[in-house]
């Protein structure tokens, strides 16, 4: 543990009252400023009220609480996967031994965040095609380019990870996209959503297992050095 503190991997001055007050103020501003700007930008106040931004959709639409349950679970898994990556990156980035891993975690964290917001706000299905006149195909090309770029930059490290789990996630996502693009029926739409949920679960599993393995390795290594 002392080695982790020496590497600045664990903050030691975060308990001072003045420091905590600054954190609370920063959280307040970081929450209220975007909320206010979004509210003003959408001009919700003159249309439907701020409740459309703050209340739960099922309460507003008077639908059962389980509406969109699996979609919400998928979004939670996106968020958990992104958090695992970015939190682990923050811990490992200053250790030169984990340089390759840190780059991969940073890329995976931001990619997962983007996929989460896409799923949450229906970016490629609603926002870009209907509001910005950008074709959904452009989004798929963008995704492909980003993924290929990240794979090329991190290929040497990716080979050292659990490839079967990673490839399974990719296969499930491909099946979801193929089901969505080729077939157009109510039954296939359900299958497409299920493929996507399994893909998200597998991607989440791949990332969290990787993060747990490397963080555990760092802690074990630090404990071993302290024993000597």
As a whole number of angstroms, the distance between CA 7 and CA 173 comes to 39
Q: What is the pLDDT of residue 43?
A: 65
Q: Domain-by-domain residue ranges, the chain?
A: 1-66, 68-227
DSSP string, 52-63: HHHS-HHHHHT-
Spatial neighbors of 192 by CB under 8 A, at least 6 apart, are 176, 179, 180
- Copy the structure tokens of residue 207: 């990332």
Task: Give pLDDT, residue 5.
Answer: 46
pLDDT in tens, the chain (228 residues): 455 544 455 555 556 888 888 989 999 999 999 888 887 777 655 555 677 777 888 888 888 988 889 999 999 999 999 999 999 999 998 888 899 999 999 999 999 999 999 999 988 888 888 888 888 888 888 888 999 999 999 999 999 999 999 999 999 999 988 887 776 656 566 788 899 999 999 999 999 999 999 999 888 776 665 554
**pLDDT number for residue 228:** 45
Neighbours of 123 (CB within 10 A): 19
* CA 172 from centroid of its chain's CA atoms: 18
pLDDT for 153:
93
What is the distance between the alpha carbons of residues 179 and 156, in angstroms, rounded to a whole number? 32
Crossing angle between the packed helical segments 186-227 and 163-182, to the nearest 10 degrees: 160
pLDDT of residue 27: 95
Q: How distant, in Å, are the alpha carbons of 45, 56, 72, 146 from that of 51? A: 9, 9, 20, 36
Q: What is the pLDDT of residue 109?
A: 97
């Amino acid at each position: 543990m002392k080695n982790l503190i020496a590497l600045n991997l664990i903050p030691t001055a975060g308990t001072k009252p003045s420091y905590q007050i600054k954190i609370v103020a920063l959280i307040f501003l970081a929450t209220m400023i975007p909320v206010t700007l979004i509210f003003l930008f959408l001009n919700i106040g003159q249309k439907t009220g701020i409740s459309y931004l703050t209340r739960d959709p099922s309460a507003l639409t008077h639908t059962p609480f389980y509406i969109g349950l699996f979609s919400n679970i998928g979004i939670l898994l996106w968020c958990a996967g992104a958090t695992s990556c970015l939190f682990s990156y923050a811990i490992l980035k200053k250790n030169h031994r984990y340089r390759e891993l840190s780059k991969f975690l940073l890329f995976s964290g931001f990619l997962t965040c983007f996929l989460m917001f896409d799923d949450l706000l229906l970016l490629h299905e609603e926002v870009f095609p209907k509001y910005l006149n950008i074709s959904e195909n452009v989004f798929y090309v963008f995704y492909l380019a980003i993924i290929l770029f990240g794979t090329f930059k991190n290929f040497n490290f990716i080979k050292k990870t659990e490839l079967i789990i990673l490839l399974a996630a990719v296969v499930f996502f491909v099946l979801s996209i193929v089901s969505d693009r080729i077939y157009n029926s109510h039954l296939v739409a359900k299958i497409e959503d299920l493929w996507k949920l399994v893909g998200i679960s597998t991607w989440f599993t791949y990332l969290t297992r990787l993060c747990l393995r490397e963080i555990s390795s760092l802690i074990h290594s630090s404990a071993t050095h302290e024993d000597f």
